[in-house]
Amino acid sequence: MTFEAGEAAMWRLVQRYTGRVGYRRGVKSEGLSANPPVIDCSGWTALLLTQALQTEGRPAGGSPAENEAASRSAASRMLFAVDDIDALHVWSDRIIHEIERRTGFILQAAEITAHTLPRCATIGLKMGDPAWAANHPRPRGITHIVQVVRRPEDDAPFVSEAFGGSVAPGISLTPLTEWLARSQPHILANEVWAVDAFRLGS
């Protein structure tokens, strides 16, 4: 099964917000309406996935009311359950946990390569032990999350992420191979996990 509509929906968000939104920990999608706009890593990933999965479950064309009626009458189009989508609106460690629990699929560390990753993988990383992470139980210690997206015209994979740092904080876009090379220290330390939210529709 392919998910061109969902992939295209994520790419539209990436094109709209990359380089235009800052980072602020604890701020979710509502931060995009702030002045200046801000968001954190889990908020950005949840927004990308929610838009993708909802787009795949929505009939093409028609008004919202017509689409809702069509959705009720065409169950085959309702690929993703509402509770699965709602479960993505949590912090980074829980997003990885919920997708793994609901799909039974996860890759870790050395299993993660450009060839083994799902087309639009969601990837969690343990990046140190910051004091702010102590407010929630984090069994894997995941403190950052990113989303693989696809450029429609050539299917090239990129990593989209919201990250706060000393250099260019905010939403950024990096070719997948470059991002994997940069993440090798975490991969070698068994501090990276990848899941596939699109398997929620299987």
pLDDT of residue 68: 47
pLDDT of residue 6: 95
Mean pLDDT of 113-141: 82
pLDDT of residue 49: 98
Confidence of residue 130 (pLDDT cuts 50, 70, 90): low
Gyration radius (Cα) of the chain, Å: 17
Q: Which helix (H) or strand (E) holds 147?
A: strand 144-151
What's the rounded Cα separation, in Å, for the pair 194 and 107? 5
pLDDT at 1 over 80: no
What's the rounded Cα separation, in Å, for the pair 111 and 183? 13
Mean pLDDT of 117-146: 82
Q: What is the pLDDT of residues 43-77, one digit of tens each?
A: 999 999 999 999 986 654 444 443 344 454 444 44
pLDDT at 89 over 60: yes
pLDDT of residue 139: 75
What's the rounded Cα separation, in Å, for the pair 202 and 188? 31
Where exactly are the structural domains of the chain? 4-201
- Of 113, 135, 134, 128, which Cα lies nearest the Cα of 179? 113
Buried residues in 32-66 as b, exposed as e (16+ CB within 10 A): beeeebbbbbbbbbbbbbbbbbebbbbeeeeeeee
pTM: 0.87
Query: Are 172 and 165 contacting, i.e. CB atoms less than 8 angstroms apart?
Result: no
